[in-house]
Structure 1
Amino acid sequence: MTTTLTDRYVHAATRWLPGGSRSEVEAELRERIEDTLAARGSSADAERQVLEEMGDPLLVAVDYTGREPRLIGPRLFMPWLRLLVLLLAIVPPIAAAGHVIGGLTSGDAIASTLIGSLGVAFGAAIQVAFWVTVVFAVLDWTGALEGEDVESWTVDKLPSPSKPGQSYADTIASVVFLAVTAGLLIWQQTGSPFHADGDSIPVLDPALWSWWIPVVLVLLALEIGFTVWVHLKGWTWAAAAINAVIALAFAAVTLPALSDGDFLNPALVEHLEWNASTVDTVLQWTIAGVVLVTVWEIVDGFLKARRALA
């Protein structure tokens, strides 16, 4: 399917709007463009000229909805967004790489270094988002650039319509989280931070390797495949149902293991000098966490499907 300049313009104008008003603004804006083009001959040159005359699609969307961005106004919103996305794509990976290089040259454990790099990347992303937003907010509030041609808009800056699936950011975050979870399940067996007599003490009961850990690793692999599939195809009611099945499958194998009380490694419990009451409290809180996460995963999947199909 060929994407026209009008398609890209309407997408740029409505992609930040909530689902309830997006379809209405899209229909009105498309009708406005088509009517204007019909009066000018509907040629490619006429289409480009009409869109250039309409100006920045974000400002057009503001006119339709009557709601301006509150923190940063529409005049500086797109420059802020473009700079923020660019810096988030550059700074966190560099910070994480620097942490890994520093940890490895210092002789730190590889697993702890890699896990620490995730925290460093997250912290860098927070700092970048905060300070870039503060600078642009101050510039907007004070009117320091009033009258300046901050960013002349042309149709060449129109983004391509997004794919039907979820964003790259959501997909990458989900895949990284799932991969790290799988890695931690394997790492805790040999790289646990708890040691006795020079040997590491696994966090989970080694007996779980006979069934629970392999099953969970398979479920995590399925979840990664499902995440990629949703990225490509988008959220549908069928996708939400599959997501619910995977979440329930994880709960179905995890809750019995936690309820049996043989989830934590007995050697670790002895090493930490935990009594039966402490172990029971930890397991009960873990069970509550699994239930809450399962419910949220199911509800979130159906909410995403509803928004995608609205």
Structure 2
Amino acid sequence: MNLIDVYIHEVTRRLPEKSREDIGLELKSSIEDMLPEGHSEKDIKQVLDQLGNPATLASNYSDRPMHLIGPKYFDLYISFLKMIVPIAAVIALISVAATQFLAFERGDTVLNVALDIFVLSIWRIIEVFIQVFFWLTVMFAIVERVDGIKDNQPRTMSLNKWTSDDLKNIVYIPKKRAISKRYIFVSLLWTAIWATFYFFASHLVGVYEKTDEGLTFIMPSLNQDVLNSFSSLVVIVIGAEIALALYQLFKGQWTKKVAMLNVLREVIGSIVLIIVIIHPNLFNPDFLTYLADNFTISSEDVRKFIIMAVMLFPIFSIWNCVDGFRKANSR
């Protein structure tokens, strides 16, 4: 076969069988029209080089794209991937922690539980990423093939081609006011951590002793029944933190409204913290006695010292509120 026939074959073999013959004849006629009279092999190569890669030319004849996700939806695809993966990862971490602590056995060591959570969390995050990546890729690949639009111009969030009018819908966010997805991820992760310790305090918060098997939990520091009595208030705090994080993700920047909601979240959290910490039966008496014996002070002094230490959190909350308004007013 000569170069022209080979080239046509390389193009048509990538096309549906029913259209190969017609496109082959059309392409051969086009090539012959481009060649000069008395053409040489060098002339043929120049024409074929001008036509380009057979796979690229075949994609121009084909009704379906010859790529999984093309330039039309690729930027949109990456944006969704970056938005969904962090949220799914946090949900996965919460589910792992909850599952492990529900299966927590009294005789187990906190080190073993922590290692189990760490290993399972890594595996679960990888699994979540693979699932999100797979299904999002499948979804965009299907959209790419059924939208019926021939051009490859990149699409915006509205699924339309970009125009200068789209700039009117873009809010310029100064760097100092921007809320990064990393910040949202850490916020949600912190909520998952403290909520886990709160609802499983009788297994996690207390006195540990070093044994041959590692650190062994011997005494809880808090009364789980008292903690559970405030569970409805704590759930409100958890809901407020999750709602604020999602709203910050949606806004993408610090505004006065976001700062005000941040203040409301901190006020609710601080009030609930104070209500819980001043409960007279919150601390395990054996725990207070254990610390009092070790530091040669009274149990009441130990209780007051712990309460004073915990009261540093409202101070941090005040700083967080001020910092939110500072960022909201940044230029």
Pairwise TM-score range, normalised by the shorter structure: 0.3 to 0.5
Which of structures 1 and 2 has the bigger CA Rg?
A: 2
TM-score for the superposition, normalised by structure 2:
0.41
Q: Give the helix-richer structure, 1 or 2.
A: 1
